[in-house]
Amino acid sequence: AGAMATAAQALEFPPLPEVTGDKVTTDDDKTYTIKFGIGLTEESGQYRGVQYFKKYVEERSDGKVKVNIFPNAQLGGDLKMVSALQSGTLEMTSPSTSPLVNMEPKLAVFDLPFLFDDYDQADKVLDGDIGQGLLKKISDDNNGLVALGWSENGYRELTDSTGVVDSPDDLSGMKIRTMQNPIHLDIWRTLGANPTPMSFAELFTALDQGTVDGQENPWITILSSRFYEVQSHATATDHVYTPFITLMSSRYWERLPQPYQQLIRDASEEMKTYQRKVNRQLNREAKQQLSEEGMEITELSDEQRDAFRQKVLPVYEEYRDQIGQPLFDNVMKATGHQMTQ
């Protein structure tokens, strides 16, 4: 960053929590290095979480396991980093679940629009049988990945460079970048927009050059990735809640001594709890900051939000089979949706 302070630098980053627990030891003196790539910047909640993961692993392994963080999609977008894990050239990443649905179709459940009413519902589903079952399935599927936990990307909000959006009609023909995910494409098509899938690594340039008019991401990403510099308007849609999934290359996992495997599991749990807390706080502060930066933020009334919701509901039926039973019904039950038949 240059001499000018960025808006995100004005955010408060409390010190990382202390690490507790005994040192973890193994039979030999071998050291290990984990490269951990992420898409978001150093000002994101994602980065703060990974920083705590690093601190936890390095302290409890007494420096024997080192973690180097590569933020800001410098190693590529989510899909590129996941392939790097599979081929063994990168050890860890924490992508959004959305670009992974081609690999694990059931992850589409988290792309259902307006699924979680609040953080509490999201936490219960991710930390309960549903979330834990999906982690196990991905780890057992032999696709080169060990799925270690869930942290949070968060509720997604629409931004655009064309004007106020407070009804689906305002989206007509608008070019919107989505994650590389068929449900997201369906959602925006159903709402009347003209969506294009794209890696996060290309998004800022696409907004800057006007290849797309809009995008959707949580407030902290809109701030920390400086989308507010190239987008004039935002709408508090909260249309999808996206989890981050903590992944390790299984080639690397198999080389780790068992005590370090357990340490990595514990660190992922610790990161989850800390990261969610920080992320929620950052999102609140970021929204405030964005309006101070001059972004025009539109709040939706219950009725206005319902107009978006009603229009996209057919997506639930379309993806019911792909998500499959009993997962679909279990998630409907956990979130109180009346979609079972």
Q: Does 149 bind ligand KDG (CB under 6 A)?
A: no
Nearer to ligand KDG, 67 or 332 (CB): 67
Nearer to ligand KDG, 170 or 216 (CB): 216
CA distance 155 to 163: 21
Binding mask 151-170 for ligand KDG (x = CB under 6 A): --x-----------------
Q: Does 40 bind ligand KDG (CB under 6 A)?
A: yes
Q: How far is CA 71 from the centre of its chain?
A: 14
Among 78, 111, 152, 270, binds ligand KDG (CB under 6 A): 78
CA distance 33 to 50: 15
Q: Considering the complex, what minimum distance in angstroms separates the CB of residue 179 from ligand KDG?
A: 5
Among 77, 131, 149, 195, binds ligand KDG (CB under 6 A): 77
Nearer to ligand KDG, 40 or 223 (CB): 40
Sheet strand arrangement including 65-70: 65-70, 32-37, 92-93, 241-249, 145-155
Nearer to ligand KDG, 81 or 130 (CB): 81
List the structure tokens of 291.
């309006």
Task: Give the ranges where 68-198 is alpha helix by DSSP (H).
Answer: 78-87, 119-127, 129-140, 182-190
Q: Does 200 bind ligand KDG (CB under 6 A)?
A: yes
Among 24, 34, 38, 278, binds ligand KDG (CB under 6 A): 38
Q: Does 214 bind ligand KDG (CB under 6 A)?
A: no
Closest CA to 222 of 4, 5, 11, 2: 11
Q: Does 179 bind ligand KDG (CB under 6 A)?
A: yes
Among 24, 34, 39, 223, binds ligand KDG (CB under 6 A): 39
CA distance 82 to 67: 17
**264, 57 contact by CB (below 8 A):** yes
What residues numbered 95-114 form the site for ligand KDG, per CB under 6 A? Answer: 95-96
Q: Does 150 bind ligand KDG (CB under 6 A)?
A: no
What residues numbered 258-317 form the site for ligand KDG, per CB under 6 A? Answer: none
CA distance 191 to 188: 5
The beta strands (E) that lie in the chain are given as 32-37, 65-70, 92-93, 145-155, 157-160, 175-178, 194-197, 214-217, 233-235, 241-249, 296-298
- Which amino acid, 264? I
List the structure tokens of 239.
């249309």
For ligand KDG, the nearest residue by Cβ is 39
Nearer to ligand KDG, 179 or 264 (CB): 179
Q: Considering the complex, what minimum distance in angstroms separates the CB of residue 21 from ligand KDG?
A: 27
- Contacts with ligand KDG by CB under 6 A lie at 38-40, 73, 77-78, 95-96, 153, 179, 200, 217, 242
